[in-house]
Amino acid sequence: MAHRNRNAAMFDELVLKYQARDAGQKKTDGGLEGAKREMLCYSHILGVCPRGELKQNHKSMCTFQHVPLASEEAGRNEFLNIFNDPLQRKKFFRTHHLMQKCIIRLKDEIKGIMASLPKQQRQASTQAIAQYNQAKAEWAIFKLNGQEELEELALARLRKLEETNSREGVARMRCKACPHYLPWLESERKQHYIGKVHQTYIRMQQFLQNYYSQGHNT
């Protein structure tokens, strides 16, 4: 939690600015729809802002303030803990009702995006893919059972098949987490996994898992 202090001053300043601007206005359920550009993005604070991260998928972009979070610099998103952290809730949301409204709105937006994902189609049973899946299964078995020498040999065979499939243009497999296809080469797959689109879909899935772990049914 200590690393979060790096941005505490920035957050406090923006929150106070928002509260001061909002103090003279009537508190309604209008939410964020009519908010101005400099206001905080509650979706971002809750873990992920699809409109800000998946710009190509939205007709309207997010116009709210995305404050850099210390947790993002650490490669994780601790702000998902806001569900169980009363101090964070009090700091970023005027009322519990506002927080719940923002959570539900974000949940509905994420579910809509997930529902629009192309359905996973059964990969054509080509010889190249069958060989690759077999090699991958063998490598996983050796690794699970601590057979280091056999694991090394199986991994070398797996990498060779990946290079061959990439060179020969074998159809790629769709990623299970996002709508993109996985490159055959390991180095390119690593770039895919740390890419913005893939990471955004991972955070959206984490948000939904966290939401339903609180006992919500819809």
Per-residue pLDDT of the chain (218 residues; tens, 9 = 90+): 444 444 555 555 555 555 555 544 444 444 433 344 347 888 888 888 998 888 765 556 888 888 766 555 555 555 556 666 667 667 777 788 888 899 999 999 999 998 887 765 555 557 888 888 899 999 999 999 999 999 999 999 999 999 999 999 888 888 989 989 999 999 899 999 999 999 999 999 999 998 888 777 77
Q: 92 to each of 79, 117, 139, 143, 212, how far by Cα in Å?
A: 11, 32, 47, 45, 22
Q: Comparing C-alpha atoms, which of 125, 210, 112, 203 is closest to residue 171?
A: 125
Both tokens of 214, joined, read 């609180």
